[in-house]
Amino acid sequence: MSIFIGSGVALVTPIDANNKINYNVISDLIDFHLKNDTDALIINGSTGESPTISDIEKIEILKFVVKKVNGKIPVIAGTGTNDTAHAIRTSIDAEKCGVDALLVVTPYYNKGNDSGIFDYYKKIAGSVKIPIIIYVVPSRTGVNLSIKLLKQLAQIENIVAIKDATGNLSYTAQIAAEIPKLDIYSGNDDVAVPVISLGGKGVISVSANIIPKETHEMAWASYNNDYDKARKLQLKYLSLINSLFIEVNPIPVKEAMNVLGFDVGSCRSPLGPIAEEAKIKIIENLSKNGVKL
């Protein structure tokens, strides 16, 4: 059984004027996503600024979200890092909070060789009982995983899916053809439909922060083989999706959300204020696509 099908939002972490987590806005965002048919919430991921969120804050956020969601849709926690022992502790803590699954990024900076990466995932998987999604995002980590290594990792019982943010559809197709055990989620909004058409189960989306219903409909149309509808939605929102990556994620999407009235605040340092020309581009695309609160 898949962890979820459709659109999982990589939720931003709202920050208030005192650089603290804004739980009132988190509550509002959860209501917004439940109302607009988002299929899963991904918490403490890259879009949630996980590198600048302390371990204590991460646990507090997870407890809050799990309680608020109350089982209505899956809650998935980002717990990967470049220190295996740290990732194990974070994964155990997240499971105790009641999350439904873990999103575990490949080790970054120190990277790891194949044997080390296998050990990393094996030890994390062995420390919890809930499902694990491998997260491959070479543009951030400098690390890709070979098909050979993925086949080995897929033999671990609770490693059940992969978030493929490579943007390489040949790689996606190879996974689908050779490792059917792994559910595939697109990690790139701009190729969500092609990834799902190759057998993917959905998308873990940044743009769903502002167009949740449309992202849900696009993912489900593709999953149900209604490619005419899926293609039209993918192409309609392509310029908006691209504008959300005009600077480092999540700077642009938080700016878009603030413009729309969500009051998610700024990003924590070292992510600084958005450039004025980028802000103008985002506002133009929001207006062009009729996106409003």
Q: Is the model's pLDDT at 181 over the cut of 70?
A: yes
Q: Is the model's pLDDT at 120 over the cut of 70?
A: yes
The answer to whether 135 is a known catalytic residue is: yes
* CA distance linking residue 145 with residue 130, whole number of Å: 22
* pLDDT, position 134: 98
pLDDT digits (tens, 9 = 90+) for 209-241: 999 999 999 999 999 999 999 999 999 999 999
Q: Is the model's pLDDT at 40 over the cut of 90?
A: yes
Q: Is the model's pLDDT at 293 over the cut of 70?
A: no
Binning pLDDT at 50, 70 and 90, where does residue 2 land?
Answer: very high
Quick one: CA dihedral 71, 92, 180, 192, positive or negative? positive
The answer to whether 68 is a known catalytic residue is: no
* pLDDT, position 290: 85
The average pLDDT across 164-176 equals 98
Mean pLDDT of the chain: 97
Structural domains of the chain ordered from first start: 6-224 (3.20.20.70)
pLDDT digits (tens, 9 = 90+) for 95-111: 999 999 999 999 999 99
The average pLDDT across 24-30 equals 98
From 120, 121, 135, 223, active-site residue: 135
Binning pLDDT at 50, 70 and 90, where does residue 291 land?
Answer: confident
From 58, 163, 201, 254, active-site residue: 163
